[in-house]
Amino acid sequence: MDNISQLMKELDTAVLCDNIEKADEISDKLFHLQGSMEADTVMPDQFFEKIKDRSKQKSGGQKSMNTKKIISIAAIAAVIAVLGITTLATRWFGIKDLVIKNNDNGVAVTKNMSDSDSRGETAATSDVAAPIVDNGKKEPELIALQGYPDSNEYKASAAWNLFCTGYDTDHSLLNAVGNGSNEITKKYPMYLVYTQEMADKLEEIVKKYGLTLHNSMTVIDSREELIKQADAGDFIGNANTVLGGYVYNDGTFQFDGEAILKNRSRIAYQFGNYVKGTFSSTYLNIGEANVYKEWTYKTSSGVKVSLALSGSKSLVIADLKNSYAVINVLSGTEGNGSLVSGSITAEVLQEFADSFDYSQIK
């Protein structure tokens, strides 16, 4: 299944890049994996015609892709759709695509979902991404939580992270402010901004990407308060308990929660929902992106989510109409001995994803 999913991503890229030769090669592999059995299935016409037309254009009309191979692509796409994996007709962003790229030697100034300060956005923490060390271990990878890479929210978050990576690296400017405040911190109470240079950069980024800033925050400690302050429907299923969190003035929210599923699995998690058109600077340390098993899943409320499962962590991602939601599940296939969550299987993660009605989030 993992081979098929990866080949479909490569085929998607090959078609979009007009690389017919590569698409031809990949379709051969897909046809082989399918057992050389054709199926009476149909993929979107525009893809079928695009492959044929571009194949002819590349060869001056003398050669076109084998029709049987085109049919095999359609068949394999249909098989994958049934199994809940992305199809050629859908743009796919995997965990690797979400990783923030910093400059070569910088250390990221991160805002971790679990280390909130009194202003909602989080202060620089010590568990930040570090360069590869002498023992050869890879540095932890960070993902932006505000959207997919082609969104303005993601681009703005990545730009801010890159700026912070190389700014005030010895913390001398931050130390000068200390536990007090100045006119800059008072103007941007929801962000870790403490110099005019930082303020200018922040304003430049939000203007470039057409975003607005959070300007106030309400702390909540119950589902009723969360729903009221976020102006959302009751998206929190009966399996879930809201332990505490906060809601910004624009409806962006984050809360810590716990779920008890049908098999009595107990799951600790952090739920972040980022309203589109706003700027947030929260990032998540995911360890190594390439160790995650990933697939898409349609929930019982009819919303498609992306699921990712590793040994120690799991993710549920939903790109909604007005917001982008990320649930950081604090356990994986190997469990997490320091937390309440036990080990999680793919089936348990799907059941957990089903415990929310994302259609109720405005």
Among all chains, which residue has been given the structure tokens 């300060």?
A: 117
Q: Among 87-91, 151-155, 339-343, which stretch is predicted with the lowest mean pLDDT?
A: 87-91
**pLDDT for res 251:** 96
Question: 113 exposed, middle or buried (CB, 10 Å; 0-12, 13-18, 19+)?
Answer: buried
Residue with tokens 């695509």: 97
Q: What pLDDT is recorded for position 42?
A: 35
CA angle in degrees (0–180, nearest 5) for 244-335-132? 90
Model pLDDT for residues 279-299, shown as the tens digit of each residue: 999 999 999 999 999 999 999
Lowest mean pLDDT among 121-135, 174-188, 254-268, 341-355: 121-135
User: What is the Cα–Cα distance from 89 to 357, expressed in whole angstroms?
Assistant: 25
The per-residue pLDDT for 43 is 37
Alpha-carbon torsion, ordered 203, 103, 308, 114, to 10 deg? -60
156-171: pLDDT as tens digits: 999 999 999 899 999 9
DSSP-derived 3-state class of residue 228: helix
CA-CA-CA-CA torsion for 33, 84, 253, 243, nearest 10 degrees? Answer: -100
Q: What's the pLDDT score for residue 14?
A: 66
Question: Which pLDDT score is estimated for 99?
Answer: 92
pLDDT band, residue 17 (cuts 50/70/90): low
C-alpha 204/C-alpha 210 separation (Å) is: 10
Q: Please choose, from the candidates 42, 46, 39, the residue with its C-alpha nearest in 3D space to the C-alpha of residue 16.
A: 46
3-state secondary structure of 131: coil
Query: Strand 240-248 relative to strand 217-220: parallel, antiparallel, unpaired?
Result: antiparallel
pLDDT tens digits, one per residue of 33-75: 544 433 333 334 444 444 445 445 544 544 444 544 444 454 4
Lowest mean pLDDT among 30-44, 78-92, 253-267: 78-92
Specify the amino acid at residue 318.
A
d(CA 99, CA 149): 9
Region 196-224: what's the mean pLDDT?
A: 97
pLDDT of residue 30: 65
Q: What is the mean pLDDT of residues 297-316?
A: 93
| Encoded tokens for 88 | 């050629």
Question: Distance from CA of residue 340 to its chain's centroid?
Answer: 24
* Lowest-confidence segment of 69-73, 183-187, 245-249 by average pLDDT: 69-73
pLDDT reading at 89 higher than 50: no
Indicate the average pLDDT of the chain: 76
Query: Which residue's structure tokens are 């399996």?
Result: 239
Q: What is the DSSP letter of 138?
A: P
Distance separating alpha carbons of residues 260 and 240, to the nearest angstrom: 7
Of the listed ranges 96-110, 205-219, 264-278, 338-352, the least confidently predicted one is: 96-110
Residues 6+ apart with CB under 8 A from 134: none
Task: Give domain limits for the chain.
Answer: 2-82, 93-362
Asked whether 343 and 333 are in contact (CB, 8 A), the reply is yes
